[in-house]
Amino acid sequence: MKITAIRSFPVWVGTRNQLVVKVETDEGIYGWGESGLSGREKAVVGAVEHYAEFLVGRDPMNIGALWQEMYRSQYFEGGRVLTAAISAIDIALYDVKGKALGVPVYELLGGKQRDRVPTFATTRAPPGEEMVEQARALVEAGWNCMRLSPAGHQNQDVYEPREHIAASAKWCTKTREALGEDVVLGIDYHHRLTVAEAASFCNKMPKGTLDFVEEPIRDESPEAYEALRRMTDIPFAIGEEFASKWQFAPYLERGITQFSRLDICNVGGFTEAMKVAGWSEVHYVDLMPHNPLGPVCTAASVHFSAAVPNFSWLECRATPTELYYLKFDDEELFPGLLKIENAHYTVPDKPGLGIEVNEEKLTREAFRFWEAPHLRRRDGSYTNW
């Protein structure tokens, strides 16, 4: 079997662009993958084109060797653009191999360790009574793990963390009081805080209010996270931006993170994700995969989550509180897409990923340039989105 083509489809689906990649072979077997790096899909398309130049004509079954060749075939190896492209191709190669052998992808990863993959949900309302009501509704719908959104995140122009920290802490406390102690409760700060701001937020809540804080600060400096680690005992969930096992290394080796927020469409696909999973297991760190993209990413994440022992919850955006994300779940566009049942995904048993893409309909969709909000402080300076 030989690879005959690698094709990229950057298209607008629902409320954002998705970049799905198709690997075709001379035996008529093909595979689908998906790339992360949302908002910079065109850059990833360029990287995929570079890799296709030497991958066409190669054996798609040699996934590990092809991963190494893609990663090491340039002087400037690594980086989020390149590994986002490698991720999509790697996932598609696993889909090809699973179909060729007639087995689900999880069988290629050592077999499944669970039949159902538990998920966590997200409230969309800003801190206040509506947020508490959304949290209650999620519990009634079957979720026992969820994350909240901080105050101020809905503003698309100005963001001043200090103006919202107290309100966020207050309503996190009220939500915990409303839900009781049995629900796992966290908050996603989308790396918008400084160390001092994150410490202030954590210290404004009674002990035991939150079970995790996700991405409170940017990840470039493990030392900054270590400083924050000394100021709070709330577990951290970090890693959705990491593009390799090397980026995960200091966070695992130094005991900085307690949950690995690995994104299979950014970290390097199944090949790299399994290495991070094993490294995390050594340090008693559970996986809490990032999964905000489309149905191909969800299918890949479910296979990965089924195959690893150290797993907690998979992110799910198709929940009662995020109905607008259901626009991604177009069954005509993505036949066989996985659906939530009682806050779990059932692990599919079809060969490969178990999901297809309606290519004819996909080619009718257009790419739209989209920019995340360029947030500014009140003094005019730029800050993180």
pLDDT attached to residue 321: 85
Q: Given a cut of 70, is residue 310 above it in pLDDT? A: yes
CA dist 182 and 280 (Å) reads 25
**Nearest alpha-carbon partner for 34 in 50, 25, 23:** 23
**Nearest alpha-carbon partner for 36 in 315, 258, 253:** 315
Is 50 a residue of the active site?
A: no
Q: Can you read off the two tokens belonging to residue 256?
A: 């900085």
Active-site residue identified among 190, 191, 283, 344: 190
Tell me the pLDDT tens digit for each residue of 74-104: 998 889 999 999 999 999 999 999 999 999 9
- Burial of 139-153, coded b for 16+ CB within 10 Å and e otherwise, reads beebbbbbbbbbbbb
Residues 6+ apart with CB under 8 A from 98: 31, 104, 105, 107, 108, 351, 352, 353
Tell me the pLDDT tens digit for each residue of 3-40: 999 999 999 887 889 999 999 999 999 999 999 999 99
Rg of the chain, C-alpha, whole Å: 20
pLDDT attached to residue 320: 85
Tell me the pLDDT tens digit for each residue of 110-121: 999 999 999 999
Q: Can you read off the two tokens belonging to residue 160?
A: 């001043």
Active-site residue identified among 164, 290, 303, 344: 290
Burial class (CB in 10 A: 0-12, 13-18, 19+), 368: exposed
Task: To the nearest 10°, report the CA torsion of 117, 208, 282, 122.
Answer: 30
Chain-centroid distance of CA 263 in Å reads: 4
Domains of the chain: 3-102 (3.30.390.10), 107-351 (3.20.20.120)
Is 290 a residue of the active site?
A: yes
Sequence length of the chain is 385
Q: Cα dist. 383→193, 236, 379 in Å?
A: 9, 22, 11
Alpha helices in 7-115 (DSSP H): 41-55, 63-72, 80-101, 105-108
pLDDT attached to residue 326: 44
Query: Which percentage of the chain shows pLDDT scores above 90?
Result: 87
